[in-house]
């Protein structure tokens, strides 16, 4: 990928010693990469950058609003994304799409684009694991929010498989 390594490094540097958030971003990135193998190169690059930076507004949200709630992350994330990507030699429309995805990744209705859907599903897969959700909760999330075939397969394989 075209200098994805630099985006990963910038994300890690921005998060400092917040290992939990760095690892969360890395896991979402890995799932997004796994789920986007058939995407055209330019779309995949935008998705992967958004996956790496999807929660980048969390520190500012905590400082400004004393909350890590998704709505505050979505407000605070896009300006940080712009600052981190300004010297990355990306086209403005690519940066704008990354900002849009980061600024909406907790909005699960009216999803615009397969890249957006994959970002949501990748983040949910990580959140399910990190939060240790019950089988019933995972089933409900799967029915409500997982739309891609690869996302549904991963959800089932990781969390909904029951041995008889």
Per-residue pLDDT of the chain (164 residues), as tens digits, is 458 999 999 999 999 999 999 999 999 999 999 999 989 999 999 999 999 999 999 999 999 999 999 899 999 999 999 999 999 989 999 999 999 999 999 989 889 999 999 999 999 999 999 999 999 999 999 999 999 999 999 999 999 986 54
Burial profile 117-151: b = 16 or more Cβ within 10 angstroms, e = fewer: bbbbbbbbbbebeeeebeeeebeebbeebbebebb
Question: What pLDDT shows up at residue 3?
Answer: 87
CB-CB contact of 97 with 79 (8 Å): no
Q: Which residue has the tokens 């990507």?
A: 85
Alpha helices per DSSP H over the chain: 4-15, 19-35, 41-53, 58-65, 70-85, 92-102, 114-131, 135-145, 149-155
d(CA 15, CA 22): 7
> Considering only CA atoms, which of 123, 82, 78 is closest in space to residue 101?
78
**Class of the CATH-defined domain 4-160:** mainly alpha
Question: What pLDDT shows up at residue 161?
Answer: 83
Question: What pLDDT shows up at residue 2?
Answer: 55
Joined together, the tokens standing for residue 83 give 């600052």
**Three-state DSSP class for 91?**
coil
CA 92 to chain centre: 20
DSSP 68: -
Sign of the C-alpha dihedral, residues 59, 61, 63, 69? negative
Question: What pLDDT shows up at residue 1?
Answer: 42
d(CA 130, CA 117): 20
Question: What pLDDT shows up at residue 109?
Answer: 85
Question: What pLDDT shows up at residue 164?
Answer: 42
């Amino acid at each position: 990928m075209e200098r994805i390594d630099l985006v990963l490094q910038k994300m890690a540097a921005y998060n400092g010693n917040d290992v939990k958030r760095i690892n969360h971003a890395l896991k979402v990135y890995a799932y997004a990469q796994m789920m986007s193998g058939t995407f055209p190169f330019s779309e995949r690059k935008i998705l992967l950058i958004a996956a790496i930076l999807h929660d980048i507004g969390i520190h500012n949200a905590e400082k400004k609003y004393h909350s890590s709630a998704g709505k505050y992350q979505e407000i605070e994330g896009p300006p940080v994304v712009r600052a981190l990507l300004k010297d990355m030699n990306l086209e403005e429309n690519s940066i704008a799409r990354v900002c849009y995805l980061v600024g909406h990744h907790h909005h699960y209705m009216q999803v615009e684009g397969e890249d957006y859907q994959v970002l949501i599903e990748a983040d949910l897969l990580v959140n399910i694991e990190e939060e240790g959700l019950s089988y019933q909760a995972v089933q409900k999330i799967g029915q409500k929010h997982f739309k891609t075939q690869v996302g549904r397969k991963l959800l089932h394989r990781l969390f909904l498989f029951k041995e008889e």
